[in-house]
Structure 1
Amino acid sequence: MVSNENIIRLQLVNGLGRKTISKILSYIDSQNMELNDFSSIVKLIKSLGVKKLKFDLEKIEEESSKIFELCRKSKINVVGIYDEEYPDKLRAIEDKPLILYVDGNLKILNDYNNIAIVGTRKPSQKGYEVSSILAERLAEEECCVVSGFATGCDEAAHRGCLSTKGKTIAVIPSGHHCIYPKGNKTLYNMILLNNGAIVSELPPNAKAEMHTFIERNRIIAALSEGIIVIEGGKKGGTSHTVRFANTYNKPVAYTSMADISTDFSQEKSVYQENIDIINSFDSLEKFKEKSFEKVLDKVYSM
């Protein structure tokens, strides 16, 4: 078993990606190796011939020390794949995050009452209101609302949930000290005050990049029992989240209450089959029950 600190050090090796690190960790596990110091892990990687990597150990130690200190000062929980607290829902996906940085309530990541609300950053006025209203209703039903902390539908979902003092999980595409958008620090603090959580797979000092938005969406889909699309077209983050949901066999619903600019029949080819339409609180309740039934089915089949 490799410590969280050494996994973080591996992530700082230039040219070493998440999938390759996962394979290295699997090999270490399969051989029942006890590698407590990073130099032993580096020696193993070199012996395995994993690419032609250059290990700048001094730089890696300097950068990792900054990360450890930032997490300590900001009281950000570092949760790795070997920890008991690591969410089973993330453990079940193939491309799982190796490390999670969590500010706030760590326990809700393991709850099974999470519903994601996602959509465009530029919704219509009605779309924004629908996102907020549905989140508020779900919070009243003691659901935890998951979203991506972006402007537009995501922000509306978080705020709607918080309006009834509900719990919400924000999965961000950056580190906690580089939140995007910058103006959302107030929302960040409100989430924490209401016993929610801010989650990232990136260290506190990491900035958002184009690919991290897409990678963030797989975590949103995996942590949720069901996904509700408010407004979103064939491209962008919404479609990525739904594709991940389909891969993980999570129920997807689409609301027709918002003013959608494209015809739903066209959208259906993107969002695939068996999509629920939410156009009332009754249909929201049915979708919620459907999402939670899938969880129970998994439990009974174990």
Structure 2
Amino acid sequence: MENRSMLIGLHGITGVGWKTIKRVIDSCSDLRELREWSFADYTRTGIPAAKAECIIEGLDEGKLQERVELARRLGIGFLTRFDSDYPDLLAETAQPPWVLYYRGSLKALEYPKIGIVGTRTPTAYGKKIAEELAAALSGSGITVVSGLARGIDAQAHRGAIGKTGGTIAVLGVSPDRIYPPEHGRLQDEIIGSGGLLLSEYPVGTLPHPGLFPLRNRIIAGLSLGIVVVEAAERSGSLITADLALEESRDVFAVPGPIHSPKSRGALYLIKQGAKMVISPEDILEEYTHLSPSSGHFVEPLTKSATQSPEEGMSADEVVLYRFLSSVPVTADVLLEQTQFTFGHLHSVLLSLLLKNKIAEQPGSTYVSI
């Protein structure tokens, strides 16, 4: 068995973590030597007796072949630290995964990569910004990396699907599982468009809340920089930003309303020195030496420069639309501002909702999108 197969075998053994594998690799010049190792050889390296027994049993060639065949039947491939196409940036991090399990095309790893992260419960503003930003970056030859979570992550993936750079989803579960359950179609769209699903968890790993924070280091490790769109003060997105800083990667943040709790994380990052993003160009200008299409025209992050958001609206719709922004406004306030009758106001609101110009928020409040 070659080194690569032995590493896959080690990584797939329940209870054998990153540090144990490092201990083994540091103790032998060639992993094929493990076929000859005795129980005493393992314990001599400091590996506990119970774990040493698990490794000896788990490296049985027949069991390893069963795991490999199961993964292949599920359409799952292996990318190890011994492979030439293992991402260079990720390999430079403090704790790069020994094995990545993947579905989709490894070609997505060839492009420069930017991570986009944020809250699982975004505002209409945050969802629109994440999708537009991802579309612009991916259209300019940047691969968008995120975590396939609800909210900002999902919108970033959707924005990048089908564009030049495409998207990479780093999973917090094993690659044979779908989480969250409603993202099965999104996973299929990512794979079908030439994108990539990555996980460091072997097939059959049971889901656990503790697995999800660990994938943040992979998102940060793959990326040249991390963009935080919307995040609360205490958010996993800020952890990802901290991990990016630890690996000397860039951190960007999209500003939002100062009174919105979902803007506080991004505003905090800007206050601490993260680069403020009001256009995709704010990111792309940092990487003109890397982007395959750095001279490509980039759509502004806010409203389109070539088409007014008020195009196609009636006069009353324009009046109402101009009283709206990313800050939620109640119908009572709009009644006072527009001087419309109650019935007419709700008729105009309904028309704008159908035209996808505004969004209704909890508490019967409204924002422009």
Shorter-chain TM range is 0.7 to 0.9
Q: Secondary structure at the match of 2:116?
A: strand
Aligned-residue offset at 1:286: 2.7
- The count of aligned residue pairs is 288
Of 16, 37, 41, 1:40 maps to 37
**Greater helix proportion:** 1
Q: Report matched runs for 1:32-181 at 5 Å.
A: 32-33=29-30, 35-38=32-35, 40=37, 44-54=41-51, 55-56=53-54, 57-58=56-57, 61=60, 64-111=64-111, 113-162=112-161, 164=163, 167-181=166-180
The residue that corresponds to 1:300 in the other structure is: none
What do residues 140-173 of structure 1 show as CA deviations (whole Å, max 9, x unaligned)? 2121111100110000001111264751000001
Aligned-residue offset at 1:252: 0.8
CA distance in 1, matches of 2:2, 2:269: 40
Q: TM (normalized to structure 2)?
A: 0.70
The residue that corresponds to 1:182 in the other structure is: 181
CA distance in 2, matches of 1:116, 1:264: 18
- Residue 238 and residue 11 in structure 1: after superposition, are their counterparts in 2 closer, same or farther (change >3 A)? same
Aligned-residue offset at 1:23: 2.7
Q: Structure 2: 5+ residue runs without aligned partners? A: 292-369
Are residue 288 (structure 1) and residue 284 (structure 2) matched?
yes
Checking the alignment, whether the CA contact within 8 Å between 2:10 and 2:58 is kept in structure 1 is no
- Segment drifting more, 47-56 vs 97-106: 47-56
Q: TM (normalized to structure 1)?
A: 0.84
- Segment drifting more, 33-42 vs 165-174: 33-42
- Segment drifting more, 246-255 vs 54-63: 54-63
- Residue 271 and residue 45 in structure 1: after superposition, are their counterparts in 2 closer, same or farther (change >3 A)? farther
CA distance in 1, matches of 2:260, 2:66: 46
Bigger CA radius of gyration: 2
What do residues 55-111 of structure 1 show as CA deviations (whole Å, max 9, x unaligned)? 145566586444312221123221111111211111101111000111111132243
Aligned-residue offset at 1:258: 6.5
What do residues 244-297 of structure 1 show as CA deviations (whole Å, max 9, x unaligned)? 101011111111147773496776666884311112x2xx213222156699xx
Are residue 5 (structure 1) and residue 2 (structure 2) matched?
no
- Residue 34 and residue 63 in structure 1: after superposition, are their counterparts in 2 closer, same or farther (change >3 A)? closer
What do residues 190-232 of structure 1 show as CA deviations (whole Å, max 9, x unaligned)? 1111111000111132233222111101000111111110111
Q: Structure 1: 5+ residue runs without aligned partners? A: 296-302
The residue that corresponds to 2:226 in the other structure is: 227
- Residue 140 and residue 258 in structure 1: after superposition, are their counterparts in 2 closer, same or farther (change >3 A)? farther
Q: CA RMSD in A?
A: 2.9
- Residue 77 and residue 12 in structure 1: after superposition, are their counterparts in 2 closer, same or farther (change >3 A)? closer
The residue that corresponds to 1:245 in the other structure is: 244
Aligned-residue offset at 1:116: 0.9
CA distance in 2, matches of 1:120, 1:266: 10
- Segment drifting more, 95-104 vs 252-261: 252-261
CA distance in 2, matches of 1:208, 1:34: 29
CA distance in 2, matches of 1:263, 1:174: 26
Checking the alignment, whether the CA contact within 8 Å between 1:171 and 1:200 is kept in structure 2 is yes
How many percent of aligned residue pairs carry the same amino acid?
29
